[in-house]
Amino acid sequence: MDKQNAAAAEKSREERVKPQDFRVPANEYSNIKKIIGVVSGKGGVGKSLVTALLALQMSRKGKQVGILDADITGPSIPKMFGLHKKAVTCENGILPEFTRDRIRVISINLLLEEEDAPVVWRGPLLSGVVKQFWTDVLWENLDYLFVDMPPGTGDVPLTVFQTLPLDGIVVVASPQDLVQLIVRKAYRMAKTMNIPILGIVENMGYLKCPDCGRQINIFGESRLDEVAVDLELPVLGKLPVDPELSRLCDEGRLEDLTAPYLVTAAAMLDTTEQRKPEQGGY
Ligand SMILES: Nc1ncnc2c1ncn2[C@@H]1O[C@H](COP(=O)(O)OP(=O)(O)OP(=O)(O)O)[C@@H](O)[C@H]1O
Ligand SMILES: [Mg+2]
């Protein structure tokens, strides 16, 4: 091999082995300080609810907040906030919809003609839409953008991990889904992608007796604290099964919530504030 070819081969090898950066810049009208993804190992554990609650509590702290609904085939954020209007597109991009308390939201449901029409698209198309939610939406000034991820480790979560400059992820787990395994999986995936895990939220581990207020651990003693200590991750909160929560979600009135769910979590994630995990709470 002559010198020139050897140099070209070496360069190509370097290109192949070095970690590639697929990140794309956001819209020029977007200025987003922190991006936090909400993930889980499997579906139905409460990712969307946790995303919505974190956004709500952060916005109640006076922060400018947005939610990017990256779940294209199962979008649920607009419904929780009672958003049914169509997002408007202008010459500079797509305008997010505002919830009653001025949380900015973008979701495929705000763009489809019929919100109950199923999205039957293949992976690359789904990933393309998520990318557009980042590049084409006029988020303007945000302190926090929360990304509601679809479950699992398919095309779309991978796209989010690779193209959005995530500052970290929050892992949602329910006690019955072998919390240790799920959290460890998320931990290893995030490590591979070089993204910090900001903490864990346990959902639906207990309920409060409506008569005596006693806490009933539905699945026995939670093992989350053990796992969290082992992996040196903070527990951001533990949410009970609360019929009020599901009722407010179903009625699109999550912003009427009075219980302080994930208030402590929002304070712990808010890097502009001193962390106060020892205060406990939800
Ligand atoms: N702590 C809770 N108390 C009562 N209902 C809850 C609670 N957490 C979630 N739910 C209800 O369970 C359902 C599933 O929650 P959610 O949509 O947040 O899960 P998900 O992990 O985002 O699901 P998917 O994987 O399908 O996106 C919702 O109807 C929600 O209202
Ligand atoms: Mg969801």
Q: What is the DSSP secondary-structure string of 144-194?
A: EEEEEPPSSSSHHHHHHHHHS---EEEEEE-TTTTHHHHHHHHHHHHHHTT
CA separation for the pair 21, 15 (Å, rounded): 11
Say what the pLDDT of residue 117 is: 74
Alpha carbon of 239 to those of 4, 49, 182, 231: distances in Å? 62, 10, 17, 21
Backbone torsions φ then ψ of 243, nearest 5 degrees: -55, -30
| Closest approach atom of ligand 1 to CA 203 | 1
Ligand (nearest to CA of 44): 1
pLDDT band at 139 (very low <50, low <70, confident <90, very high): very high
pLDDT band at 12 (very low <50, low <70, confident <90, very high): low
Q: Whole-model pTM? A: 0.89
pLDDT band at 279 (very low <50, low <70, confident <90, very high): very low
Q: Directed axis angle between helix 155-163 and helix 123-135, to 10°?
A: 30
| Closest approach atom of ligand 1 to CA 76 | 17
pLDDT tens figures, 156-208: 888 888 889 999 999 998 887 666 677 777 778 888 888 999 999 999 989 98
Residue whose token pair is 């006076």: 62
- Distance (angstroms) between ligand 2 centre and the Cα of 23 equals 24
Ligand 1 within 6 A of CB of 73: no
Domains and CATH numbers, the chain: 28-267 (3.40.50.300)
pLDDT tens figures, 217-274: 888 877 788 888 888 889 999 999 999 999 999 999 999 999 999 999 999 999 755 4
